[in-house]
Amino acid sequence: ANRNIEDARFSDLFSGEEVRDAAHLDLSRVQMFFFTIVIVVAYAAAIGTMLSSDAIKIEAFPDLQQGMVALLGISHAGYLTKKAIPHPESE
């Protein structure tokens, strides 16, 4: 809903995408953001643990845990479901 790039704020990540709801908090965007941050931090911790181990040679990144993949999938599915729901036209 910003006309100029200078008007953009970090909080715009969490507001509605349409003019009629640009001033409102979009919970689907909030939950997707925070679940993504939690998963990135957990994966970074796994990489940090791997790098701090006594292993001489590291051949691959750590595998993503199934719980992480499920959480990320559920989070993004909720966000996409919200976007897919038809919204009434502005009056």
Residue 90 pLDDT: 58
Residue 76 pLDDT: 87
Residue 62 pLDDT: 87
Q: Are 28 and 21 in contact (CB under 8 A)?
A: no
Domain range list for the chain: 5-84
d(CA 51, CA 54): 8
Q: Average pLDDT across each block of 10 residues of the chain; the chain has 91 residues. List them in order.
A: 77 74 77 89 91 78 88 88 77 53
Residue 22 pLDDT: 67
Residue 58 pLDDT: 76
**Residues in contact with 47: Cβ distance below 8 Å, sequence separation at least 6, in sequence order:** 61, 62
- Predicted structure pTM score: 0.69
